[in-house]
């Protein structure tokens, strides 16, 4: 949803029961996105990301702060594995790649777009 209307998502902790109703769009290999605001090109953005089992996001660097809240499932990067209920704050200048072995849904809020450091594999 990219507009100036108030957006309210209810039962966010129960997203596994209603995520299929959202207008997901392809994003990366095995990952779909539902943008809450921002286009991800410049400035701040918030989105739900839905990882299929084996879904991944290639190595990227954070140009601003990124906050990830894992709502369902788990994801792993070079730093740790994060289960549902985990909050990860990636500061500017940090880099990582992400994999979700079993699938997950996360809320991602970032102040600036990321810089991809490697190409996606197909």
pLDDT tens sequence across 83-92: 999 999 999 9
User: DSSP strand E in 38-110: where?
Assistant: 45-51, 55-62, 66-76, 81-83, 87-90, 95-100, 104-110
pTM greater than 0.85 (yes/no): yes
Residue in the block written with tokens 């949803």:
1
pLDDT tens sequence across 11-55: 888 998 889 889 999 999 899 999 999 887 778 999 999 999 999
DSSP-derived letter for residue 122 is -
- What CATH number did the domain enclosing 34 receive? 2.60.120.10
Residue 3 lies in a domain: no
Average pLDDT, the chain: 91
Number of compact structural domains in the chain = 1
Residue 10 lies in a domain: no
Residue 14 lies in a domain: no
Domain boundaries, position 55 = 22-116
């Amino acid at each position: 949803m990219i507009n100036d209307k108030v957006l309210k998502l209810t039962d966010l902790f129960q997203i596994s029961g209603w995520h299929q109703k959202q207008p997901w769009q392809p994003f990366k290999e095995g990952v779909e996105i539902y943008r809450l605001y921002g286009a991800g090109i410049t400035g701040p953005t918030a989105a739900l990301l839905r990882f299929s089992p084996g879904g991944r996001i290639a190595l990227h660097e954070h140009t601003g702060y990124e906050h990830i809240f894992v709502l369902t499932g788990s994801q792993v990067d070079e730093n740790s594995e994060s289960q549902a209920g985990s909050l990860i704050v990636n500061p500017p200048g940090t880099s990582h790649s992400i994999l979700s072995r079993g699938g997950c849904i996360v809320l991602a809020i970032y102040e600036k777009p990321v810089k991809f450091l490697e190409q996606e594999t197909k």
